[in-house]
A and B are shown apart, each in its own frame.
Chain A
Amino acid sequence: MNSVLNFDALLAPPLFSQLLHGAQFTLMLFVACWILAVSLGILLAVLRISGWPFSERLVAIYVAYHQNVPMLAHLFLWYFGISTLLPAGLQDWTSNHGGEFIFATIAIGLYMAAYFSEDIRSGLRSVPGGQTEAARSLGMGFLASMRYVVLPQAINNAIPTFTNHTIVLFKNTSLAMALGAAEMTYAVREVENETFLTFETYIVATVFYLAISLILMAVGAAAARRVRLPAH
């Protein structure tokens, strides 16, 4: 058992760059998944309230499916399962162009889109009906009342859960390692296998995740504060 923690080895070039690449991969994956999840989440939420036939039912099924199946199962289904259904040319292309990243992004993005769309939906529901009535009574159309009265309040109310889910999304990127994606956790395990510095490497990873989570929480709290005091 080590009595002195040996971080120096980790700061040496080959290992350090491995860890750095892991961190970079994680952050890039996070950004890609987040963008996909938010865009799709907004689309789903809008679709749900659009009133088109079946849209409510279809979105409900999408959400129910994604929320009741664990992230790992989604990852495996996409990476090992659905990929085999693609035409051969596409399969080759993806395996040569970072298939792990692509399928991880799709799986995690689609999964979190379900949660984000529910956040938006409950945000909209949290705005009392009287607000819409008041806006419409003043002569504002549907779009104007959404834009100036309902959405600002809906977004404000949804920020706390939205922040929570963003952090969940960030943590979910770590599961991409199960596909062999070279994200942070994977890099840490590789380094640990080479150096046997289990404690040190795990501390590095833990600090990384905690730091980013903390930053995300702070950003969320700042956003909530800002929206509460509208600028004059």
Chain B
Amino acid sequence: MLEFLDNNARFLLIGSFPNGPLGGLALTLLLSFIGLVLAFPLGLLLALCRIVPVAVLRISSGVFVYVMRGIPLIMLIFWSYFLVPRLTGHEVSAFTALVVTLVLYQAAYLCEVIRAGIQALPKGQLEASRSLGMTYGQTMRLVILPQALISMLPSLLGQFVALVKDTSIGYVISVYELTFSAQQINNSLLTQPFAVFFTLALVYFVVCYSLTQGVNFLERRINRKGSQTVVKLEVANVSVV
């Protein structure tokens, strides 16, 4: 087992970097980070669409969220990677397809997290702000969102953990993230499947568990700091993969 780790740890953790592209755990974390950074503004936009009193926006964003949550991530990957090139005639790299799919998928979940956070604020906040003469936009920007986002921070970071797990779907389109890298190692070794996949599980566990503990710590600190109640959501923080 240790010998296996010796030979393959490097590939598992960073791929063939610097002699080749980044891979393994490093790529997984990079994908997750990019995914969250891009998904957040989109999720915020969707959340706002879901709550504004404009029927068209509410319905279309609602449909988008419903579809994203109703079909498996693997189908979405297939749509992006196999169908889009056929429709548009352009080649799509696996990396791009993966990022785009993850962003869209996570944005739908983030939308629900953010929406719940906004709606959890007491109505009095909106009323007080409007009574002072501020517009809806100003109210959102200066009063509602700042409060909502702080209380949602732990849930949002929890989505990062979900994203780390979701990147494993890159396996089906041969992106060299952690899971695919492990499968490649197994295919070349063939003799130690248990060691390979147990290590895979262990790496994910260590990374995700530490992140989750970090999020819990943050949550406790936020709770202690103010009268903000942290929005604990069961809807979020469940990745499909």
Contact = CB atoms under 8 A, between A and B. Distances in A.
Contacts of B196: 80-81
A11 interface: no
A178 B240 contact: no
Contacts, number: 132
Interface string B77-89: 0110011001101
A232 B83 CA distance: 54
A214 B67 CA distance: 10
Interface in A22-76: 64-65, 67-74, 76
A177 interface: yes
B205 A69 contact: yes
A162 to B, nearest CB: 9
B197 A80 contact: yes
B53 interface: no
B165 interface: yes
Given A73-B197, A77-B200, A84-B193, A177 B186 contact: no
A199 interface: yes
B70 A214 contact: yes
A165 B236 CA distance: 11
Binding site of B, secondary structure by majority: helix, strand, loop or mixed? helix
Given A69-B201, A81-B198, A210-B67, A172 B234 contact: no
Of the listed residues A72, A77, A115, A205, the one surrounded by the most CB atoms of chain B closer than 10 A to its CB is A72
A100 interface: no
A213 B241 contact: no
Interface residues of A, number: 45
A185 B75 contact: yes
B82 A198 contact: yes
B92 to A, nearest CB: 13
B155 interface: no
Contacts of B166: 70
A85 interface: yes
A174 B193 contact: no
Contact of B71 (A77, A171, A178): A171
B235 interface: yes
A204 to B, nearest CB: 11
A229 interface: no
B87 A1 contact: yes
Nearest to B200: A73
A202 B79 contact: yes
A65 B83 CA distance: 35
B95 interface: no
Given A1-B86, A68-B204, A213-B71, 7 more contacts: A70-B168, A71-B165, A72-B171, A165-B238, A168-B240, A178-B172, A202-B78
16 contacts: A1-B87, A68-B212, A69-B208, A73-B201, A76-B200, A77-B194, A77-B198, A122-B234, A171-B71, A174-B75, A175-B74, A185-B78, A189-B78, A202-B83, A209-B71, A210-B71
| The 8 residue pairs across chains A and B that have the minimum distance between CB atoms | A68-B208, A213-B70, A174-B72, A70-B165, A81-B197, A81-B194, A171-B72, A161-B234
